[in-house]
Amino acid sequence: AEVYEEIFPFVWRTVRRLGVDASAHEDVCQEVFVVVHRRLPEFRGRSSLKTWVFGIVVNVVQTHRRSLRRKSPAHRGTGETVDPELLAGPSDLSPDEAMTRAEAARVAHDLLASLDEEKRVVLLLAELEEMPATEIAQGIGVNINTVYARLRAARQAFSDAVRRHHARIRGGRDG
């Protein structure tokens, strides 16, 4: 019960940030905790509990996606998405500020969704969860240099996507 209380918010956030549809959040989180409970005796403390659980979350989310693709052709080729609500920030804003913030969150959501899964996972963990590269590497089972390379590529791809978005906006106003 203590492990559950300690990591539930992280699991819930991570499942949402990895783009699991809202209707499946509870099922996916439950599956994560079933796996955590089953594998907890194997946890040796070589990494933080959060890092260890993150690896489980990624595996469960990937299994969930494969299952969706097998069950429904409509899910084939669809990438994960990122919940814009998680990017929007505080809600104690004026209506205009809230609308501007919501639009920025929607754009960030779309731009993040355009990244491939490997880059998106590393970028979300490094930037939104503020997880150190060593923990990300342990969590996703890759070399730390791979994490740095993916993070650099993700930041560049995100930056390029932002530039393209701004160019489209400017082009739309001029034309």
Among left, alpha and beta (phi > 0; psi -120 to 50; other), residue 130 is left
Q: What is the pLDDT along the chain (175 residues), one digit of tens a residue?
A: 788 888 999 999 888 888 788 899 999 999 999 999 999 998 888 778 888 898 899 889 889 988 887 876 554 444 444 444 544 455 566 787 777 777 777 777 778 878 888 898 899 889 888 889 998 998 888 999 999 999 999 999 999 988 988 898 888 665 4
Q: Give residues with Cβ within 8 angstroms of 81, minimum separation 6.
A: 19, 109, 112, 113
**Four-point Cα dihedral 85, 91, 94, 99, nearest 10:** 0
pLDDT number for residue 173: 60
Domain of 61 in residue numbering reads as 2-174
150/110 Cα distance (integer angstroms): 19
Of 127, 138, 151, whose CA–CA distance to 50 is shortest?
138
pLDDT number for residue 159: 92
Question: DSSP string spanning 93-107?
Answer: S-HHHHHHHHHHHHH
Instruction: Look up the CATH number of the domain holding residue 9.
Output: 1.20.140.160
Split into its structural domains, the chain has a count of 1
pLDDT number for residue 113: 78
pLDDT number for residue 94: 76
How wide is the angle at C-alpha 137 spanned by C-alphas 42 and 67, nearest 5°?
A: 70
Task: Centre a 10 Å sphere on the Cβ of residue 153 and count the other Cβ atoms it contains.
Answer: 16
